[in-house]
Structure 1
């Protein structure tokens, strides 16, 4: 008698069907939770799960800034130095998303990456991360993104102009520079005092080693640094590619100066907040049609911020008008784009998509959410 063994290829469909049946039975047994929910509890960083990270350490840099060490899930992809990552973290029971620059070297031996956060006044997430977050906290992640990076062909001369937490993406770049990548680097950094300089000791070591020329501007004693002063400090400014990150007024002043000098194409800027255009938006009543919440918002506050202050759970992302993670349909009324002053209107029943992080009420409006 001849016994024929089933081929491995013929058993695969049976095993797949059996596995599917087991998972269906498991879903019935664990409803309303799914088996994947239990797997997430056991291994939240597993491959194939929603991308998450686990905070391994909180390392304080200054009185109001800390480096957060994050172990990412297995589907994390390497970043390009200078890029940022969106972090989702629960604060007082509400999921909040913010974007932070990655400050670590590529290929850390421990498999982690770092963000460095400066707590800002009334900053819900930044204060939570700097002052209250504990190791072991699970956060949601997006893949790294952003264009504030060096080109593949690095320039012969580079200038970095930063203030406050604007040093963070630049630190991510400097830490990943090989000795021969850039041989002529000038960094001008502004902070209230020497103790407030994030990464101060490391930057001074780089300068002592001849890796960079460092100019510190301590505004409490030296005043604010303007574009003309920067040009005086760096006489060959027009020959340098310049990367700048910091407060909006500083960036706007630099952009104007570089434009007037005819070298605007050599300046690259990174904004942590959108540039707001003053306008005549008077604000108004904002109604969220799905959950029935109604609130009063002024003409200068983003609808996203006004809604969160009223306890409405909102989709969000970069909060700068870049990632489109906050887009919702405007069903009726008018909103004003805080960056351009442009007013968008919708007739009753329309579904015009608007970015709630950079849009303010321009009269009564209804948002589908």
Structure 2
């Protein structure tokens, strides 16, 4: 008998002994980061960056395939007995010697996962991981002149780029309410002092919001630079309009943490009673909250991905009623075979979601 056949028989005997669990279930308890297991990571440290932001150091499992600077990773965290998934930019260089990865998280009001990761997660905690994804990355042929335009936690994917790749002529304009709110402040200022980055901080509590129309006062040659911009929707809307108006839209690369919401589509004029027919739960929802968030808040196991309407990981059948696409304002009514993206759809009256 071949060794493969012997291993197969041994595994079947183990399955008989461990029923109703599988041998792999016990292996997961002993070695959760092993090759072949569902991809997990172990939190090894949490480093405070600002009063409301922290860097989480994670040892990924052996199935981790590595990332490109600027990409993000989906992370599954158990919070109050529920597994919730969120996407965060990777802030570690691609060749970190110890093989660890980092995400840097800013706690947002009422953010279940962000507050848990910033204020409560402990070293040793196991989290679920997906493989990294995203195209907010530098090209293989590095541009000679780069502008990084960021605000708030929008600095996180750019920090991954700065730590990973040195550009000959790099300029950064970063916006934060106060100096102490600048994530990675000491490291950024160190890069500037070493001549590796020209840094301008805009402190909005005292200077007001960045007027993109006057960007030339800070960066006279902005139109000549390949630009990577990440931050709140208002900033990115203004940036995209400004670049398009000057005929250089192709030089702008943006990353949004939330989908662009069409004017008027995020008001409270819609809403209704949402039934999750598979689990038998019914809750009231407004016309502005994505059905994905509504379901998670109700304790319904909701599939999700990018939470931006890009990856279609949240697609779910709409059994009855109607929903509004928050990006376009378009109304979709239920009929046989209709699927909706719960991360960018809100209730437009009573509706029934097959979850």
Q: SS in structure 2 opposite 1:175?
A: helix
Which secondary structure state, in structure 1, belongs to the residue aligned with residue 56 of structure 2? strand
Equivalent residue number for residue 354 of structure 1: 340
Say which one has the larger Rg.
1
Q: Secondary structure at the match of 2:103?
A: strand
Q: Does 1:166 align with 2:151?
A: no
Misfit runs of 4+, over 3 Å: none
In structure 1, the gaps of 5 or more residues are 1-10
**Kept in 1: contact 2:84–2:296 (CA 8 A):** no
Asked if 1:193 is matched to 2:178, the reply is: yes
CA-CA distance at 1:323 after TM superposition:
2.3
Scaled by the length of structure 2, the TM-score of the pair is 0.96
Q: TM-score, normalised by structure 1?
A: 0.93
CA RMSD of aligned residues (A): 1.3
Separation of aligned partners in 2, 1:175 and 1:364? 49
**1:58-73 correspondence runs (5 A):** 58-73=46-61
Q: Equivalents in 2 of 1:351, 1:138: separation in Å?
A: 38
Q: Does residue 1:232 correspond to 2:220, yes or no?
A: no
Mapped to 2, the partners of 1:323 and 1:33 lie a distance apart of 33
5 Å-filtered alignment, 1:287-366, equals 287-347=275-335, 350-366=336-352
- For 1:95 and 1:217, locate their aligned partners in 2 and report how far apart those are by CA, in whole Å: 37
How many Å apart are 1:86 and its aligned residue? 0.5
* Distance in 2 of aligned mates of 1:92 and 1:351: 34
Deviation at 1:128, TM superposition (A): 0.2
How many residue pairs were aligned?
352
C-alpha separation in 2, matches of 1:21 and 1:366: 47
Q: Secondary structure at 1:363's aligned position in 2? A: strand
Q: How far has the Cα of 1:345 moved from its partner? A: 1.5
1:245/1:270 contact within 8 Å kept: yes
Distance across 1 between alignment mates of 2:144 and 2:247:
19
Q: What pairs with 1:140-219 in structure 2 (closer than 5 Å)?
A: 140-178=128-166, 182-219=167-204
1:35-114 equivalent positions in 2, closer than 5 A: 35-114=23-102
How far the C-alpha of 1:73 sits from its partner, in A, is 0.6
Deviation at 1:32, TM superposition (A): 2.1
SS in 1 for 2:13: helix
Equivalent residue, structure 2, for 1:128: 116
